[in-house]
Amino acid sequence: MAMELPVRPRRLRSTAVMRGLVAEYAVRPEQLVLPLFVAEGLAEPRPIGSMPGVVQHTLDSLAEAVAEAAEVGLGGVMLFGVPEQKDARGSGALAEDGILNLGLRRAREAAGDDLLIMSDVCLDEFTDHGHCGVLTPSGLVDNDATVALYAEMAVMHAECGAHVVGPSGMMDGQVGAIRSALDTAGQLDTAILAYGAKYASAFYGPFREAVGSSLTGDRKTYQQDPANLTEALREVRLDVAEGADMIMVKPALGFLDVISAVRDAVDVPVAAYNVSGEYAMVEAAAANGWLDRERAIDETLLSIRRAGAQVVLSYWALEFARRYRRG
């Protein structure tokens, strides 16, 4: 016997067409950014053990990946450089022939303006101590000296072809200094994707293999405490006031509430980084047959979008875009 129910929410789930019609959120390739690692001294791409399917690229394979990213309609790529030699000041970051600068040039040649070329403005890949800046004699990261180097890096990246620079070191005043340096150099159209809420997270573990990190200690004096939300909102408002064009929240899955709060707090686009540890967890579980890999990927990306991110950085971006194009 049928119940007398005037409201039956299941009616809107009855078929695939109905579900598609009333879907509130979606993920499209143009909202996704693919992080890419380009390493010095490689003859062929080198697999990253803790991130199945992800590699350190040669300059040639990087150009191929960038060209494919443009072809399938991704919004952008974010480049990270992996040098052979490191020193205390991260000198390779500011070398004309440094691997990241070379990679940016090749990426821009491969994609032109069909894809946004984004750069990581940070020193951690280039320093022998693995921190995101230069150190004081007592071993602390020197905020102001580091910011000055970030400003130089950002200008170099723009001159090498970056459409967007992404200062990720969480130094005070980094956005304002970079905006001023870019404008002074005539790079008025180069956008800043500011890592306004980057947390000192355990989920960066595989990334450290990806960039050959030599970190000793931790980054808790400059990256944010995962316990804090109000602090994140203060940080992102400061970044917007200093000239940030977009705001990044990193990581994503453990910080969906932060993404939502940041979305409500600012009037610029919000991005979120689906980080290496989040990627590795799904890949490991799928390899063991514990979950449906493609569905888990789709739900992960959708959850980040639903939380409020307009832009999602993900190592699955290229794979997702290929499937999207196949329907």
Q: Tell me which of 303 and 223 has the higher pLDDT.
A: 303
What's the mean pLDDT in 162-169?
A: 96
In sequence order, what are the beta bridge partners of 167? 121
Residue 36 inside a domain? The answer is: yes
Residue 16 inside a domain? The answer is: no
What's the mean pLDDT in 230-247?
A: 97
Asked whether the predicted pLDDT for residue 13 surpasses 90, the reply is: yes
**How far are the Cα atoms of 97, 241, 249, 278 from residue 258, in angstroms, in the given order?**
38, 19, 7, 16
Q: What percent of the chain has pLDDT over 90?
A: 84
Residue 5 inside a domain? The answer is: no
The count of other CB atoms within 10 Å of the CB of residue 172 is 14
Contact 308, 259 (CB under 8 A): yes
Q: Which amino acid belongs to residue 277? A: G
What pLDDT, on a 0 to 100 scale, did the predictor assign at position 310?
97
**CATH at 87:** 3.20.20.70
Rounded distance between C-alpha atoms, residue 292 and residue 272, angstroms:
23
What pLDDT, on a 0 to 100 scale, did the predictor assign at position 207?
77
Instruction: Give the structural domain span for 109.
Output: 27-326
Which residues have CB under 8 Å from 195's CB, separation 6+?
166, 167, 168, 169, 170, 248, 250
Longest distance between any two alpha carbons in the chain, whole Å: 80
The total number of structural domains in the chain stands at 1
What pLDDT, on a 0 to 100 scale, did the predictor assign at position 206?
84
What's the mean pLDDT in 282-299?
A: 97
What's the mean pLDDT in 124-145?
A: 91
Contact 244, 173 (CB under 8 A): no
Contact 93, 119 (CB under 8 A): no
What pLDDT, on a 0 to 100 scale, did the predictor assign at position 115?
96
Residue 7 inside a domain? The answer is: no
Residue 15 inside a domain? The answer is: no
pLDDT of 182-237, one tens digit each? 999 999 999 999 999 999 999 988 877 777 677 777 788 888 999 999 999 999 99
pLDDT of 24-61, one tens digit each? 899 999 999 999 999 999 999 999 999 999 999 999 99
What pLDDT, on a 0 to 100 scale, did the predictor assign at position 210?
77
What's the mean pLDDT in 16-23?
A: 90
Residue 17 inside a domain? The answer is: no
What's the mean pLDDT in 67-75?
A: 97
Residue 221 inside a domain? The answer is: yes
Active-site residues: which are they? 198, 250
- The average confidence (pLDDT) of the chain is 94
Residue 289 inside a domain? The answer is: yes
